[in-house]
Amino acid sequence: MKELVFLLEEPSAKAMLESLLPRMLSAEISVRCIPFEGKQDLEKQLTRKIRAYQNPEARFIVLRDLDSHPDCLAVKNKLLELCVESGKAAQCIVRIACKELETFYLADLQAVEEALQIKGLAKQQQVKKFRAPDNLGSPSVELKKLTSQRYEKVAGSREIGKLLNLENERSPSFRNLIGAIRRLENELINEQA
């Protein structure tokens, strides 16, 4: 079975991906999202989960927030080491949301406006801090403030994920995630040929 398995820091990432992925993946590809209880839980269980996964055709995408860690590359390399320890590193890609998952949403305020039904929000995209949201210190705080507390992590992620523009390049970390998903999807489809 051709399968993409997402190993995620938290349930909100699962909610976002479950609403986003049906719009972009071939029906040939099965998807499984495995949320953990935060980044420490993800790192603690990652090697064992990947090693024990029984589908030899599965590909894995590990996604976590950078949060306040100062070095994105160090976080990514640590997760890659855990993938190597699983013995399946060739089937794994690690992606880091800089700084938080909400960065993806702040990069697409049109999607947030429609999902949360807040008129005029998309116009805020021209404000300097929302043109490059990967540089924001706390995107979740910014999003709550911008939406007057209407954004809730899981429910909001589910609704916004349905509307995120897959071609949006304001957030390099979102663009890299979409690129990784497409790359592994193509790998799986080409294996079928």
Q: Helix (H, G, I), strand (E, B), or coil: what is residue 147?
A: coil
CA angle, 180 then 13 then 122, to 5°: 90
Tens digits of per-residue pLDDT, 162-179? 999 999 999 999 999 999
The tokens for 89 are: 């590193």
Residue 70 pLDDT class (50, 70, 90 cuts): confident
- Assign 127 to helix, strand or coil: coil
For residue 99, is the peptide bond before it cis, meaning its omega torsion is within 30 degrees of 0? yes
Listed in sequence order, the residues at least 6 apart from 46 whose beta carbon sits closer than 8 Å to its beta carbon are 7, 62, 79, 82, 83, 86
* pLDDT of 192 higher than 60: no
pLDDT for the residue 69: 84
What number is the average pLDDT over the span 11-34? Answer: 96
Mean pLDDT score of the chain: 95
pLDDT higher than threshold 80 for residue 185:
yes
List 34's β-bridge partners, or say none: 7
pLDDT digits (tens, 9 = 90+) for 122-163: 999 999 999 999 888 899 999 999 999 999 999 999 999 999
Percent of the chain beyond pLDDT 90?
91
Global pTM reads 0.94
Q: Return d(Cα 127, Cα 140) in angstroms, integer.
A: 17
- The pLDDT assigned to 193 comes to 54
Strand pairing partners for 30? Answer: 3
Confidence of residue 98 (pLDDT cuts 50, 70, 90): confident
Strand-pair partners of 95: 63
Average pLDDT score over residue span 94-104? 94
